[in-house]
Amino acid sequence: MRILSVSVMPVLFLVIIASGLFRRVPVFEAFTDGAKEGLKTAVRILPALVGLIAAITMFRSSGLLTFLTGCLSPVTEKLGIPAEILPLALLRPVSGSGSLALVEDLLTAHGPDSLVGRIASVMMGSTETTFYTLAVYFGSVGVKDTRFSVWAALLADMTAMLVSVWVCRYFFG
Amino acid sequence: MMNYVWAGMIAASYLFAFFTGNVEAVTKGAMDGAQRAVEMVFGLCGMMCLWTGLLEVARRSGLTDALAKLVRPLLSLLFPDLKKEPAAKSAIVMNMTANFLGLSNAATPLGLAAMEELSRINGKSKRASDAMCMFVVINTASITLLPNTLLALRSAAGSTDTFGILVPVWICSIASVIVGTMAVAMLSRREARRR
């Protein structure tokens, strides 16, 4: 698994650059044009993250977060989920920037390579902002009756969340 | 929704701190958090730009189109109703490819174009078609080769094993897509039987 994880980037780099040169794409120009997009994204998410990370840090320093996770841990531990992860699992389908802020908080508080940090990373990486996606996609074509979509999407999210806990415990626990 | 969550968190923090005598720590937390957010985004920035830059090279050299060709056979399995709808299929493939590469800025317009096409096939009905449900659920399940924001965040947080989470992410994504698509297939069949 380690080899696979480490080799993804080198392979992508070489394949992309090589095929660019092969197709006579001005690779450096294309790169800088694309990098501009990354910069725009970063600037776009900044205001929301300032507000959210500030609020989450307040929540944590008040002691309320520790208090709440303490209350929840007997329930979550039966499922093998660390209680620290639960707020992320609840917020993830609702808010993309909110959950990104929570992941940042967990990585800072527990370390990115701790079990909690890894579970949070995997959960974040393998899920989407479900309700936002549903609203934008169905809303754009005026669909009111979405039938069973919400349940199927949430079932998929729950699967990703539970599997992320199990997989991390198996690989890193 | 987010308005209440955000306001509630701040209000609850001060209220709780008032009873436990932590008020100063909460104020300090607000300032530290704001500072950290900026540091985090700056930390992310370099890696995000590196990735979006690389992807632009991939797009211009036709790699995304090549990838789209690989995805195509999967489509008839997931969207049996779209056999004779090449326009819808190609929009769906483009959206999936963009998502797979983590090009979320490009994926949304492509996805909306696909929805437009599916809505036309569905006679602009207010009721979602099977294909629409399948397409949207696949989009909410997120299948991404490299979750770039997350990887940048991990490296900015000082991880010594930034990419170590990739294989677990793929395993979870695949599991959730399988469950999501199977749920859609089963639920739509159950509805059809009830009619």
Binary contact (B53, A31; C-beta < 8 A): yes
Q: What is the mean pLDDT of chain B?
A: 90
For the CA atoms of B113, B116, B118, B124, what is the dihedral angle to 10 degrees? 180
pLDDT in tens, A3-35: 777 788 888 889 999 999 999 999 999 999 999
pLDDT at position A68 is 86
Binary contact (A149, B38; C-beta < 8 A): no
When divided into structural domains, chain B yields a total of: 1
pLDDT at position A44 is 84
- In this complex, the residue of B133, B168, B180 whose CB is nearest that of residue A147 is B133
Q: How does DSSP classify residue B129?
A: P
pLDDT in tens, B143-174: 888 898 899 899 989 999 999 999 999 999 99
pLDDT in tens, A42-61: 888 889 889 989 999 999 89
Grouping H, G, I as helix, E, B as strand and the rest as coil, residue B127 is: strand
pLDDT band at B183 (very low <50, low <70, confident <90, very high): very high
The amino acid at residue A90 is L
Domain, as residue range, for B134? 2-194
pLDDT band at B74 (very low <50, low <70, confident <90, very high): confident
Domain ranges of chain A: 48-172
The pair of structure tokens assigned to A96 is 């993309």
pLDDT at position B1 is 64
Grouping H, G, I as helix, E, B as strand and the rest as coil, residue A137 is: helix
pLDDT at position B137 is 97
Question: How far apart are the CA of B93 and the nearest CA of chain A, in angstroms?
Answer: 16
Average pLDDT of A104-110? 95
- In this complex, the residue of B56, B125, B144 whose CB is nearest that of residue A30 is B56
- In this complex, the residue of A33, A49, A63 whose CB is nearest that of residue B40 is A49
Chain B residues whose CB is inside 8 A of the A58 CB are 9-10, 13-14, 26-27, 29-30, 33
For residues B54 and A34, is the Cβ–Cβ distance under 8 A? yes
Tell me: ipTM over 0.85: yes
pLDDT in tens, B3-48: 888 999 999 999 999 999 889 999 999 999 999 899 888 888 888 8
**Segment 24-83 of chain B within 8 Å of chain A by CB:** 25-34, 36-38, 40-41, 44-45, 48-63
* pLDDT exceeds 70 at position B98: yes
